[in-house]
Structure 1
Amino acid sequence: MSDALPFQSHVKAVEDLHGPVGRLEAILNTGREDALYAAVVAHPHPLGGGTMHNKVVYHAAKAFSSFGLPVLRFNFRGTGLSEGVHDEGRGEVDDVRAALDWMSERYRLPILFAGFSFGSNVGFRACCGDARVRGLVGLGLPVRAEGRDYTYGFLPACRAVPKLFISGDHDQFGPKDVLESVLVSAQEPKRVIWVEGADHFFAGTAQSPASKLGTMNAGIRLWLAEEFGL
């Protein structure tokens, strides 16, 4: 697909995505008819203001869409117009599974998943071991944020699936030394990218104030091209 003509994605609302507790608000970036994969992207913690319109989520979706892949973004239960109430990461795992089901039924394509912060932890728990998911992207994996601890004992179960981890080297919720010790347990194939001068949200630091979202986007696109031949 790398030699294909430039593709203009269209965005449309999804009205028929339902999880265990009701409708989940979602939007779809349409893909090429010859797309080889479909993608699902999950947002950060709702209690911190996270939604499917978050900048990191948007730029991640844009990276997948640049290859002509259909991309689904959705709001977790209790966020935006999604029904239900926030469930501290428990029921949200089922929300991700509902999104995977919807994309699988609609496109019948292998799925690539990306999640940011809370969305990465919840999403990896849903996707690890799911044969439909062929690639995983964790953006800003959190270790401790706003009094919440995140654990990754499930990572070794993600065998043989290509994994990409991108975090800022000044991530306040996933310090580099701590996260490195966590990622040791992730099975190959894996790639870890530390974005220099970036915080948890891929914004700049005092020493390097420019946004790092473009660097994050480029890291995803390079990985997609090299791992999946897109």
Structure 2
Amino acid sequence: MNAQTQRVSVSGPAGALECALDVPADEPRALLVVCHPHPLHGGTLDNKVVQTVARAGLQLGCRTVRFNFRGVGASAGSWDEGAGEVDDALAVIAAFGAHDGATVLPLWLAGFSFGGFVAASAAARLPEGARPVRLALVAPSTQKQSVPAVPPDTLVVHGEVDDVVPLAATLDWARPQGLPVTVIPGGGHFFHGQLALLKTLLLRAWSVPI
């Protein structure tokens, strides 16, 4: 993402997980973990949407981690139908959850597409006191995955003309929860030409005091 990005690995349920770590210049205010899109469709930690989300968190002072799911890049293991990928996310959260081995940082969690399903699922599995204080789902995979219900303050962003995950699918998922969905007019699944707008939406939402 930038010259200061550190490539590190942590232990995961299926072996080592490749991670990209960005650390703010000042003391971090939170830990942001970002989950990438579907591994079988080219999703990696270097995806442009994932990097955009990470940049927003870094700009707001977060210690930011992107990681490759099992079987992607230098991460060990193989595709596990989503279940193992949620375990991977939980392993990364646990590995980076403590700062300097002592202070536990508040958790911010985000995911794009399939990664949105993983982020929501990981958030639901964390114990009450360890759940994310910020959760952002960008074009979450609500049509092909069973995305759990999320907290009412979750940021959900979707493109109006998404041809991978139809907007209607995300609205159908959000409606029973009374959950607002921020729609980017003319936006496709990968937000081509609209990544700056996506970043602005994230910065605006995450700048509101908790």
Q: Which runs of 5+ in 2 are unaligned?
A: none
- Report if the CA contact (8 A) 1:42-1:114 is conserved: yes
- Report if the CA contact (8 A) 1:9-1:30 is conserved: no
How far apart are the structure 1 equivalents of 2:46 and 2:151? 31
TM-score normalised according to structure 2 size: 0.90
How far apart are the structure 1 equivalents of 2:136 and 2:209? 12
Q: In the alignment, which of 155, 160, 179 is matched to residue 169 of structure 1?
A: 160
Q: Partner of 1:5 in structure 2?
A: none
Q: Partner of 1:197 in structure 2?
A: 186
Matched position secondary structure for 1:70: strand
* 1:168 CA displacement: 0.4
Q: Partner of 1:20 in structure 2?
A: 13
* 1:83 CA displacement: 0.3
How far apart are the structure 1 equivalents of 2:25 and 2:203? 17
The farther-off stretch of 23-32 and 122-131 is: 122-131
* 1:224 CA displacement: 0.5
How far apart are the structure 1 equivalents of 2:31 and 2:12? 19
Matched, 1:34 2:27: yes
How far apart are the structure 2 equivalents of 1:10 and 1:224? 23
Structure 1 residues 182 and 227, CA, compared in 2 at 3 Å: closer, same or farther? farther
Q: Partner of 2:134 in structure 1?
A: 135
Q: In the alignment, which of 48, 72, 81 is matched to residue 79 of structure 1?
A: 72
Q: In the alignment, which of 146, 150, 164 is matched to residue 145 of structure 2?
A: 150
State, as a whole percentage, how many aligned pairs show the same letter: 31
- Report if the CA contact (8 A) 1:52-1:73 is conserved: yes
How far apart are the structure 2 equivalents of 1:119 and 1:227? 25
* Divergent runs of 4+, >6 A: none
Which residue identity does 1:96 align to in structure 2?
Answer: A
Matched, 1:184 2:175: yes
* 1:32 CA displacement: 4.2
Higher Cα radius of gyration: 1
Matched, 1:10 2:11: no
Which residue identity does 1:114 align to in structure 2?
Answer: A
Matched position secondary structure for 2:156: strand
Structure 1 residues 216 and 175, CA, compared in 2 at 3 Å: closer, same or farther? same
Note the alpha carbon deviations across 1:15-40, whole angstroms, 9 max, x for none. Answer: 3x111111000010012443221100
TM-score normalised according to structure 1 size: 0.82
Two-structure CA RMSD over aligned residues (Å): 1.9
Structure 1 residues 169 and 227, CA, compared in 2 at 3 Å: closer, same or farther? farther
- Report if the CA contact (8 A) 2:15-2:76 is conserved: yes
- Report if the CA contact (8 A) 2:174-2:180 is conserved: no
* 1:170 CA displacement: 0.5
Matched position secondary structure for 1:25: strand
Q: How many residues align?
A: 203
Matched, 1:49 2:42: yes
How far apart are the structure 1 equivalents of 2:92 and 2:177? 24
Structure 1 residues 227 and 117, CA, compared in 2 at 3 Å: closer, same or farther? farther
* 1:10 CA displacement: 2.8
